[in-house]
Chain A
Amino acid sequence: MSIKSLSPGRGVSARDRAERRLAIRMTAPSLILMALVAAVPIGYALWLSLNQYSVRTAGLSRFVGLENYITALASQEWWAAFGQTFLFAALSVSLELVLGTAMALLLNLAFKGRALLRTVVLLPYAIVTVVSAITWQTMFQPNLGLVTNVLSALGLPGGDVVWLGEHGYAMAVIVLADVWKTTPFAALIILAGLQVISAETYEAAELDGASKWQTFVHITLPLLRPAIVLAAIFRTMDALRVFDLPFVLTRGANGTESMSMLAYTQLRENRLVGEGSALSILTFLTVMVVSVVYIRFAGGNIREVAKEEQ
């Protein structure tokens, strides 16, 4: 990072120009591909969402302006899906951050078995999300699952509940499956943040007579903030587009339908191309607004990273 110019002195500008041209040629293929396969479809989705399509005759359509959006925004389904998605995101991300921080502190300790622990916590992360859904389905099977069995054996409530058949319980299973699979991701991001805090900082705190708890609250946590915020951004963006878990666990039943699922259902199962497209655009806008808010208010470090790139 220290060397700003590769060839100081003569010929800087000619060399610079050649370098800039090369840079454009090297990034162009990726950018063009992403524009073609991301920007063009989203633009097309906007167009589709402004039309109404005949369910019976393929290709028959008429321009209806914002009607699909009005229908969607006036529908109870959209706001239910909107609410459930945010509820899911809030629950899963906050659990993942708390557990992830604890896990990171654990992985940051030098002890026998640390490598094993790191491997073990990484396993759920690599698993296919659909499989993680099936795994938790087997855990919560009425009368047969491990969790339901243990609850019954201990005489606790929940043993005789059809977990995926009731809203609150089903949401709990979905959140749990997500926490199981993605806490390692949060933990590793936060661990990377822990590892750059210098030992001197802790020594200074110890010299000042700070207790372990004071050190954690007043030194570790503030210095970890950028890493935690980063993990929060990644996890929130991911949670807001949740689809696989409710799809496999409940097929969206019992009020667990997410925004992405609602758009999918209207499009694929009900063949409502216009309304499905409007819903997918609404999902897209919701996620974008949240990411802008996050980066604007919490993500100081993201902007610094971006500046550093220049």
Chain B
Amino acid sequence: MSTLTAERPTATQAAVRRRAPKRRLRGEAKLHPLVWVFVVAVMGFSLIPFYWLVNTSLKKGASLSKGELFPADPSLENYLAVFQNAEFLVALRNSVIIAVVTTTVALVFASFAAYALARLKMRRKAMILTLILSVTTFPAIAIAAPMFSIWREIGLYDTLLGLIIPKLTFALPLAIYTLTSFFKEIPRELEESAYMDGASPFTAFRKVILPLAVPGLATTAILVFISVWNEFLLAVTLTTSPEARPVPVAIAFFSGTSEFDQPLGTISAASVIITVPLVILVLLCQKRIVSGMTAGAVKG
């Protein structure tokens, strides 16, 4: 562990410094070579599985039954097969509708609740916050099992709405929790001056807090979107036909007559297709995602 923050001028480091007298940003540490090994290991562990997934998706026919490090004869056949698969396209559409609707509704409801929890005087605030937080720890099966029966009674089983409603229950606490900590970071002085001008708390929320909280809202939207897009248990319990299935379920059931007979090339291609948007999201919004994940987690 001592190597992690090592600054002892070892021979190697001296050599490195001689070799690389390039400009160094202020505060940049010179890393011990062992630390670099660790950096490379972490990057490899994170990236190699992605590479292997892409590699598998580019193989076809006989190539699939050989464990080549590079596809000898790369082919987009699997991708074509996925895009010609009507069930996958329907699932993609379903996933987009479910994620967009759930995220939007959750954000509207949560921004009200988060403002009250972050700013307004309220009885039993700690209890309410604890309750909301405890919902995030609920195992989804406890909701999915009874919902399966309820939805079949009232006709919401195997519909998009029937998925959006329970997903909202898990999206809301996440959104409220994240937004509350973002709202708390907005300086109170700004609302103060709105109050001086005679604004009501609700006006202050609408005219002062919401515009300032746009970055926080965007961050929360990204996190909620990712979690709804990922969710699997509710989706698999509450649907049965390809018409209502979102992407994760469609992929899990991709011609899955048995686990020994899976078209792994096509499944890999489908996996790559739905991963690309998420990778772009991470590349563009890395800072936001990090700030949202850690919002309120650790109080300074």
What residues of chain A lie closer than 8 Å to B247, measured between beta carbons?
128
CB distance from A10 to the nearest CB of B (A): 14
The reply to whether B279 and A134 contact each other, CB–CB distance below 8 Å, is no
| Residue of A34, A124, A126, A287 contacting most chain B CB atoms (<10 Å) | A126
The stretch among B9-17, B78-86, B123-131, B213-221 that forms the contact with chain A is B123-131
The reply to whether B237 and A267 contact each other, CB–CB distance below 8 Å, is yes
The answer to the question of B116 belonging to the interface, with a C-beta cut-off of 8 Å to chain A, is yes
CB distance from A122 to the nearest CB of B (A): 5
What residues of chain A lie closer than 8 Å to B139, measured between beta carbons?
240-241, 259-260, 280, 283-284, 287
The reply to whether A19 and B67 contact each other, CB–CB distance below 8 Å, is no
The reply to whether B38 and A284 contact each other, CB–CB distance below 8 Å, is no
The reply to whether B113 and A26 contact each other, CB–CB distance below 8 Å, is yes
The reply to whether B290 and A106 contact each other, CB–CB distance below 8 Å, is no
The answer to the question of B159 belonging to the interface, with a C-beta cut-off of 8 Å to chain A, is no
| Contact among A22, A253, A280 for B141, CB-based, below 8 A | A280
The reply to whether B50 and A135 contact each other, CB–CB distance below 8 Å, is yes
Report the bound CA distance from A149 to B55 in whole Å.
Answer: 14
Interface string of B271-300 (1 = CB under 8 A from A): 100110011011100100110011011111
The reply to whether B38 and A102 contact each other, CB–CB distance below 8 Å, is yes
| Contact among B46, B52, B274 for A131, CB-based, below 8 A | B274
CB distance from A5 to the nearest CB of B (A): 9
| Residue of A105, A128, A264 contacting most chain B CB atoms (<10 Å) | A128
The answer to the question of B137 belonging to the interface, with a C-beta cut-off of 8 Å to chain A, is yes
In residues 40-66 of chain B, which contact A (Cβ within 8 Å)? 42-43, 45-50, 52-53, 56, 64-66
What residues of chain B lie closer than 8 Å to A237, measured between beta carbons?
136-137
Report the bound CA distance from A122 to B187 in whole Å.
Answer: 30
Interface string of B30-41 (1 = CB under 8 A from A): 010001001100
CB distance from B128 to the nearest CB of A (A): 7
| Contact among A37, A124, A129, A273 for B143, CB-based, below 8 A | A37
What residues of chain A lie closer than 8 Å to B147, measured between beta carbons?
41
Report the bound CA distance from A209 to B145 in whole Å.
Answer: 59
The answer to the question of A156 belonging to the interface, with a C-beta cut-off of 8 Å to chain B, is no
Report the bound CA distance from A247 to B148 in whole Å.
Answer: 18
The answer to the question of B149 belonging to the interface, with a C-beta cut-off of 8 Å to chain A, is yes
The answer to the question of A255 belonging to the interface, with a C-beta cut-off of 8 Å to chain B, is no
CB distance from B148 to the nearest CB of A (A): 6
Assuming the contacts A3-B188, A128-B275, asked whether A110 and B38 have C-beta atoms less than 8 A apart, the reply is no
Report the bound CA distance from A117 to B95 in whole Å.
Answer: 30
Assuming the contacts A27-B112, A27-B117, A119-B286, asked whether A128 and B172 have C-beta atoms less than 8 A apart, the reply is no
Interface size class of A (residues with CB under 8 A): 35 or more
CB distance from B242 to the nearest CB of A (A): 16
The reply to whether B52 and A121 contact each other, CB–CB distance below 8 Å, is no
What residues of chain A lie closer than 8 Å to B145, measured between beta carbons?
45, 48, 263-264, 267, 276-277, 279-280
| Contact among A26, A143, A247 for B115, CB-based, below 8 A | A26
The stretch among A63-71, A72-80, A189-197 that forms the contact with chain B is A189-197
What residues of chain A lie closer than 8 Å to B121, measured between beta carbons?
16, 19-20, 23
Report the bound CA distance from A93 to B65 in whole Å.
Answer: 35
CB distance from A60 to the nearest CB of B (A): 14
Residue on A with the closest CB to B295? A192
The reply to whether B52 and A145 contact each other, CB–CB distance below 8 Å, is yes
Residue on B with the closest CB to A101? B1
The reply to whether B141 and A23 contact each other, CB–CB distance below 8 Å, is no
The answer to the question of B76 belonging to the interface, with a C-beta cut-off of 8 Å to chain A, is no
Report the bound CA distance from A1 to B6 in whole Å.
Answer: 39
In residues 244-289 of chain B, which contact A (Cβ within 8 Å)? 247-249, 251-252, 259, 264, 267-268, 271, 274-275, 278-279, 281-283, 286, 289
The answer to the question of A127 belonging to the interface, with a C-beta cut-off of 8 Å to chain B, is yes
Report the bound CA distance from A253 to B48 in whole Å.
Answer: 27
What residues of chain B lie closer than 8 Å to A42, measured between beta carbons?
142-143, 146
CB distance from A63 to the nearest CB of B (A): 16
Report the bound CA distance from A102 to B34 in whole Å.
Answer: 13
What residues of chain B lie closer than 8 Å to A277, measured between beta carbons?
145-146, 149
The reply to whether B289 and A126 contact each other, CB–CB distance below 8 Å, is yes
The reply to whether B271 and A119 contact each other, CB–CB distance below 8 Å, is no
A interface list, Cβ under 8 A from B: 1, 3, 6-7, 16, 18-20, 22-24, 26-27, 29-31, 33-34, 37-38, 41-42, 44-45, 48, 102-103, 105-106, 109-113, 115, 117-132, 134-139, 141, 143-146, 148-149, 164, 180, 185, 188-189, 191-193, 196, 211-213, 216, 226-227, 230, 237, 240-241, 243-244, 247-248, 250-251, 253, 259-260, 263-264, 267-268, 273, 276-277, 279-281, 283-284, 287-288, 291, 301, 305-310
Nearest 7 pairs between A and B by C-beta? A284-B142, A241-B139, A280-B145, A45-B146, A23-B120, A192-B294, A212-B2
